[in-house]
Copies of this chain bind each other. A is one copy, B any other.
Amino acid sequence: MIAPQKAIHYERYEFRKWESHDAETIVESPVSLTVNGEVWLTFMCTPVNLEAMSVGFLYNEGLLESMDEVEDVRVCEHGDNVDVWLNRSVEQPQSWRRTSGCTGGVTAVDALARVDVSFNGDQPRVAPEAIGQLVERLFESQELYRETGGVHTSALSDGEKIVLVAEDIGRHNTLDKIAGLCLMNDLWPETRILITTGRISSEMLQKAARLQAPILISRTSPSSLSIEMAERYGITLIGYARRDRFNVYSNRQRIQLA
A157 within 8 A of B: no
A173 within 8 A of B: yes
A66 within 8 A of B: no
Q: How far is the CA of A234 from the CA of B150 in the complex (A)?
A: 23
With A32-B105, A99-B170, A172-B104 known as contacts, the answer to whether A149 contacts B41 (CB < 8 A) is no
- What B residues does A26 contact at CB under 8 A? 221, 223-224
Question: What is the size, in residues, of chain A's interface with B at 8 Å between Cβ atoms?
Answer: 79
Which of A6, A18, A104 gathers most chain B CB within 10 Å?
A104
- What B residues does A92 contact at CB under 8 A? 100
A105 nearest in chain B by CB position: B42
A62 within 8 A of B: no
A78 within 8 A of B: no
A168 nearest in chain B by CB position: B100
Q: Are B11 and A248 in contact (CB under 8 A)?
A: yes
Q: Are A8 and B227 in contact (CB under 8 A)?
A: yes
Say how many copies of this protein the assembly contains: 2
Residue in B31, B32, B43, B227 whose CB lies within 8 Å of A25: B227
Interface residues of A (CB under 8 A from B): 5-6, 8, 10-18, 21, 25-32, 39-45, 92-109, 128, 131, 149-150, 168-173, 199, 201-203, 220-227, 239, 244-249, 252, 255, 257-258
With A8-B224, A27-B223, A245-B13 known as contacts, the answer to whether A96 contacts B100 (CB < 8 A) is yes
Q: Are B128 and A13 in contact (CB under 8 A)?
A: yes
- What B residues does A102 contact at CB under 8 A? 96, 98, 104, 106, 171, 199, 201
Residue in B6, B39, B168, B257 whose CB lies within 8 Å of A18: B257
Q: Are B104 and A95 in contact (CB under 8 A)?
A: no
Residue in B99, B109, B222, B224 whose CB lies within 8 Å of A96: B99
A117 to chain B, nearest CB (A): 20
A16 nearest in chain B by CB position: B258
Q: Are A25 and B223 in contact (CB under 8 A)?
A: yes
A170 to chain B, nearest CB (A): 3
Q: Are B258 and A225 in contact (CB under 8 A)?
A: no
